[in-house]
Amino acid sequence: MKTLLKGILTALIIGIGSCCTTTYAQTEKESKTEYTYNQKETPQGIDNYLLATYYYNGKKTFNLRNYYISSTSGEVISMKINPSGSSFALLTRKDQTNRVSIHDLWETEKKLHEFNNLYKPQSICYTPDAKNLIVGTEKFIFTFDARTYTIKDRMSIPFAAHLITVSPNGYYLIRKEFEINAKINCIAFSDDSNTFAVLTDDGILSTYETSQFFILQNYEAMGEALYCEFHPDNKYISVVSSDKRIAIINLLDDSDRTYIDNYTGGTSETRFVKDRKTQILLVYNTTNGVIYKLMSELPPYYTKLLADELEARMNDWMKQMPNETLEEYNLRVNEETRIQQMHLFEQEIATRMADNMVQMANISFGDYNPESNMLAIKFDNMPTIYLDVPTDELNYFTNPKDLEFYNVKYGLTKEDKFELIYAHVHNKVTGKTYIFDNQKRQSLEYLKSDEKFVPIEVIKESNMKELRLIEIKENVVQIAKQSNTISDHTNISIKSNVISSTDANGQKIMNYVVNFSYQVKLGFSAQEDFSPGKYRTEESGAAMSMLAIIKQAFEEEFSPFVESGKKLQVKITGMADALPINGRIAYDGCYGNYTNEPVYVNNELSNLTVASTKGVTQNEQLAFLRALGVKNHISKNINGFSIMNTDYKYYIEVNQGKGGKFRRTNVELTFIDAL
């Protein structure tokens, strides 16, 4: 689906995520929170691969070591790094003519490709999976294969695409036109793809909900409004309000703004990145260099953390328990009990996260309402509460330090702030205890909304499917044991879940997720799983048994989902341990040769090259071949995968430990809009 912004720009929408480590040059002023890389040339524009920043100046591009990477005949207008880190695209201008070229990120002056037949290109970006390069021109939006540079799609547009980006979920078609009179300086998607930001030169930041593209809020006083980017947790957004100032806006509370001043000027863009400790840093360019600033002073997005934990705990609670009859299960799990359990978990999680804020608060007395007998108790770190105190007892409330709080429970407001929802308040002067109870308050936004709710009958259907999958597993495992393929030392697990989502049209859908994994007891991996240095799927009895279960599941339990064109996402994880590879392991090319293949290494998008002429020299390559073996087996032996619109993603895990327990594979299937 395509997305167009009327008048000033066309927006096709995509985002990138990043994380890595590097060595910081620390400033004397803020040695613990700010790191500076001084540059010989002024960074006019920046982009990142993970934690590493690259920039351009005039006709050249540079890394942070002041080494230039490429030079072009025209002035660089835009630089976009392939999210897998293999290359980067440049949009350049010479004599009013724009050109697009691709360059190697790791080798100086190595041009990989130049697009010679594009008419007036205006903007460039990559898709988040690194598979495609998008180029916007005056009349078309082109999609090219990011490795072969062949054209895959062309879309006609009614005006020039001066800005272009793609949402992290890959939905990049427009469903609505925006009437915007001011010039649009920047567009951005949140990392969860739920929010779309438009920054205009009249100093206004507008945010939109993406399922239907209706406006959420306008934020004013953004200055020159040069650039914006969402914080990874989607609670904050950075706005370059001038070349000397960056504003960090709390999207849940407009009054909460943090400013970063750069008195030397030169700031035009920002990037949020993570280090290996998962700390968030803000990267921005200046006249003299590139600054990395720790964002540790920004409070976490507590509501999101709570929602994630709540979802995981509710998924477990809604499973049918061992030895629980269907009748007992139906009595325990229904719409009413589900809501009750969610509120109980919500209070429990929020209370743990709040970490007893009452003890850290400065408490004071506010006004008293003689009609309702309500006394305001004020906290400097939470909203005020109102305690029911009879008028004749009011004189005993003179010193807030006389109050003790017990059995405290907390909740979160829609502004993501903790509030007291229940407490026993003991007055030491009189020995009397008062009860504050606001547990029936309006609950969290996601609790009162049905967006993340999955109908109870769908959950029960999923649970029944999981039980039938377990029956399939038991039959396959029994046969495998009889043939000595595996033994009792191998344990295969199946977990399923239903996730509420939206499609590209903003319609609510239910995705069915099933994870297949296995564990082999210590000391038996070489016999029942991969031996050191081995990667062929057929050499692992555990992996073959897991795949046999998947095959039978497609023939039976998954058969209603198997339709031509129906979407199926396949996440294949290949794992390796830290056992050093001495020399190289021969690779006969049985799974093909791959150059700069996009893969997720330890959950970060990267790229790997595997060739039969060079063999395997890294554990990452070995883990990749194990994942490729699984993909090769299922695509050849399970018909459903080839019938459906299947998207494969490879995840590579290299554990620091050594041993067979780290040499495994697993498969996660997501049937889109299945239930």
* Contact status, residue 644 vs residue 567, Cβ threshold 8 Å: yes
Q: Are residues 443 and 531 in the same domain?
A: no
One DSSP character per residue, 498-557 reads EEEEE-TTS-EEEEEEEEEEEEE-TT-HHHHSPPTT---GGG-HHHHHHHHHHHHHHHTT
Q: Are residues 335 and 277 in the same domain?
A: no
Predicted pLDDT at 630? 97
Task: Detail the DSSP E strand segments found in 157-222.
Answer: 184-189, 195-200, 204-209, 214-219
| Percent of the chain surpassing pLDDT 70 | 92
Predicted pLDDT at 203? 95
Domain boundary among 244, 266, 299: 299
Residue that wins the pLDDT comparison between 602 and 505: 602
Q: Mean pLDDT across the stretch 150-173?
A: 87
Predicted pLDDT at 107? 93
d(CA 512, CA 455): 13
Q: Does residue 31 have a pLDDT over 70?
A: no
What is each CA distance from 383 to 353, 421, 469, 675, in whole angstroms? 17, 10, 49, 42
Handedness of CA 170, 174, 176, 179 (dihedral sign): positive
Let me know if residue 6 belongs to a domain.
no
Predicted pLDDT at 20? 33
Judged by average pLDDT, the poorest of 18-32, 451-465, 519-533 is 18-32
* pLDDT band, residue 185 (cuts 50/70/90): very high
* pLDDT band, residue 447 (cuts 50/70/90): low
Q: pLDDT digit string (tens) for 572-614?
A: 999 998 888 888 999 999 999 999 999 999 899 999 999 999 9
Residue 65 CB coordination number (10 Å): 7
Predicted pLDDT at 177? 55
Residue ranges making up the domain that contains 345 = 305-448
Cα 625-486-586 angle, rounded to 5 deg:
25
d(CA 206, CA 228): 11
Q: Mean pLDDT across the stretch 150-167?
A: 91
Q: Are residues 464 and 380 in the same domain?
A: no
**Residue located via tokens 């590097």:** 22
Q: Mean pLDDT across the stretch 505-517?
A: 90
d(CA 224, CA 67): 32
The whole-model pTM stands at 0.87
SS3 602: coil
Judged by average pLDDT, the poorest of 209-218, 259-268, 555-564 is 209-218
Q: Does residue 275 have a pLDDT over 50?
A: yes
Q: Mean pLDDT across the stretch 218-228?
A: 95
* pLDDT band, residue 644 (cuts 50/70/90): very high
Task: Detail the DSSP E strand segments found in 66-108.
Answer: 68-71, 75-81, 87-94, 97-104
Q: Are residues 223 and 372 in the same domain?
A: no
Q: Are residues 310 and 290 in the same domain?
A: no
Please state whether beta strands 594-601 and 567-576 pair in parallel, antiparallel, or not at all (unpaired).
unpaired
Q: Are residues 564 and 518 in the same domain?
A: yes
Q: Are residues 467 and 421 in the same domain?
A: no
Predicted pLDDT at 443? 58
SS3 32: coil
* pLDDT band, residue 117 (cuts 50/70/90): confident
* Contact status, residue 537 vs residue 626, Cβ threshold 8 Å: yes
**Residue located via tokens 């430990």:** 657
Predicted pLDDT at 601? 93
Residue 313: is it exposed, middle or buried by C-beta count within 10 angstroms (0-12/13-18/19+)?
middle
**Interaxial angle between packed helices 541-555 and 619-637, expressed in degrees from 0 to 180 and rounded to the nearest 10:** 30
Structure tokens at 174: 């427009």
* Contact status, residue 22 vs residue 52, Cβ threshold 8 Å: yes
Q: Are residues 152 and 206 in the same domain?
A: yes
* pLDDT band, residue 3 (cuts 50/70/90): very low
d(CA 521, CA 499): 32
Q: Are residues 444 and 476 in the same domain?
A: no
Predicted pLDDT at 437? 94
Let me know if residue 512 belongs to a domain.
yes
Q: pLDDT digit string (tens) for 605-635?
A: 999 999 999 999 999 999 999 999 999 999 9
Predicted pLDDT at 550? 96
Structure tokens at 27: 């400033």
Domain boundary among 241, 272, 299: 299
CB contact set of 602 (below 8 Å; sequence gap of 6+): 652, 653, 654
- CATH number, domain of 229, equals 2.130.10.10
Q: Are residues 210 and 337 in the same domain?
A: no
Q: Mean pLDDT across the stretch 72-78?
A: 96
How far is residue 308 CA from its own chain's centroid?
Answer: 12
Nearest to 583 by CA among 625, 617, 618: 617
* Contact status, residue 664 vs residue 520, Cβ threshold 8 Å: yes
Q: Are residues 520 and 473 in the same domain?
A: yes
Q: Does residue 39 have a pLDDT over 50?
A: yes
Q: Mean pLDDT across the stretch 36-57?
A: 95
Residue that wins the pLDDT comparison between 152 and 33: 152
* Contact status, residue 552 vs residue 476, Cβ threshold 8 Å: yes
Q: pLDDT digit string (tens) for 332-384?
A: 999 899 989 999 999 999 999 999 899 999 999 999 998 899 999 999 999 99
Handedness of CA 168, 172, 176, 180 (dihedral sign): positive
* pLDDT band, residue 441 (cuts 50/70/90): confident
Q: Report the chain's mean pLDDT, rounded to a whole number.
A: 89
Predicted pLDDT at 507? 84
Nearest to 142 by CA among 131, 155, 132, 129: 155
Predicted pLDDT at 157? 87
d(CA 8, CA 187): 12
Predicted pLDDT at 463? 87
d(CA 624, CA 91): 33
Q: Does residue 9 have a pLDDT over 70?
A: no
Tally of structural domains, the chain? 3
Predicted pLDDT at 29? 45
Q: Does residue 445 have a pLDDT over 60?
A: no
Domain boundary among 261, 281, 299: 299
